[in-house]
Amino acid sequence: MLSIDAGMQPEVVTRFAPTPSGPLHVGHLLAALQARRFADERGGRCLLRIEDIDITRSRSREWVELMHEDLRWLGLQFDGDIMVQSERFDVYAHALDKLRAMGLLYPCFCTRSEIKAQIAEMGRAPHSSLGYLYPGTCRKLPEDVIQARLARGDSHAWRIDMQRVQDLIGCPEWMDLHRGLQRSVPTLYGDVVLARKEMPASYHLAVVIDDAAQGVTHVTRGEDLFEATHIHRALQAVLDLPVPLYAHHGLLKDNAGKRLAKRDGARSLASLRAAGLSPQDVMISLQRALGNDGIWHI
Ligand code: GLU
């Protein structure tokens, strides 16, 4: 007989959301397994989402095909339909319109080198673990200048005014299952970019919209994205999206204790496969790494 409790628990839904910027790496495998196991242990579902919003990456399709091959080789399966972000730009555009209508976005015409120069001029520029903080130059542009530059077709990105966001929503909380209750600070990473011509939606915008669209209840991902959750929580609040629980897991490291870089081709799953390793060998190495502070040996 089902207990009342079991009947009332919402189904657990996790996701694996790789960005196809290269071949799948052992770090991706760890993220995929964490999501899969978290769902399996709770009788839930684990979905797959391809985060291919960067349309300047011409080889994305190739990497996605290789990813499917790697996942088949490993015997890793996901539930339901695969969500592909490059097919959802209209959804992100709609959210951007909403934020624009709320007066929370402004166009930023600064180039990367202009921003660098502005920061150098400021002497000790505000910095964060996610990189430099945008000094807010275009936030102060007069409306007529903005309209003239947009009409002229000047290249621009859309940034979110995080001070306004914070004034509007305060500092909402989120729960990290490993670290406990967290209070977000929307302004912590400055006015991040939410869209630009060659990337019609940023990772931050797409991830919150799609976690909601896929009904994700638990976001399991690497702790390198822990800080980004401040931004995600703020976006969820202004876009009125449901807030999943988070579980940020540790990352794989090399012998020197340095995080394994995604660009390190030697740890791609395809190269391990080509070197004659079996899926079991790879899984055993991963288990060993997890039992040894994340240090990966092959
Ligand atoms: N697409 C990201 C990556 O491949 C993961 C994003 C997330 O889990 O929120 O690193």
Report the alpha-carbon distance of residue 36 to residue 74 in Å, rounded.
13
pLDDT winner (highest mean) among 70-79, 259-268, 286-295: 70-79
Over 70: is that where the pLDDT of 29 sits?
A: yes
Higher pLDDT, 223 or 9: 223
Model pTM score = 0.93
Q: How far is the CA of 256 from the centre of ligand 1 (A)?
A: 24
Protein residues with CB under 6 Å of any ligand 1 atom = 17-19, 51, 207, 221, 225
Q: Check: CATH 3.10.20.340 for 10-87+251-298?
A: no
User: Can you give the residue ranges of every domain in the chain?
Assistant: 10-87+251-298, 88-215+224-243
Q: How far is the CA of 278 from the centre of ligand 1 (A)?
A: 26
Ligand 1 pocket test target in 34, 203, 227, 268 with most atoms within 8 Å of CB: 203
Over 50: is that where the pLDDT of 98 sits?
A: yes
Over 50: is that where the pLDDT of 18 sits?
A: yes
Report the alpha-carbon distance of residue 264 to residue 298 in Å, rounded.
12
Q: Which atom of ligand 1 is nearest to the CA of 21?
A: 4
- Give the strand order in the sheet containing 83-84: 13-16, 45-50, 83-84
* pLDDT attached to residue 265: 56
173-176 and 45-50: which strand pairing? unpaired
**Percent of the chain surpassing pLDDT 90:** 79
Q: How far is the CA of 83 from the centre of ligand 1 (A)?
A: 14
* pLDDT attached to residue 105: 98
- Mean pLDDT value across residues 95-120: 95
For 148-271, list the strands marked E by DSSP.
157-160, 173-176, 180-183, 193-196, 218-222, 245-249
Q: Which atom of ligand 1 is nearest to the CA of 28?
A: 4
* pLDDT attached to residue 6: 52
CATH class of 88-215+224-243: alpha beta
- Mean pLDDT value across residues 188-201: 94
* pLDDT attached to residue 282: 95
Q: How far is the CA of 10 from the centre of ligand 1 (A)?
A: 24
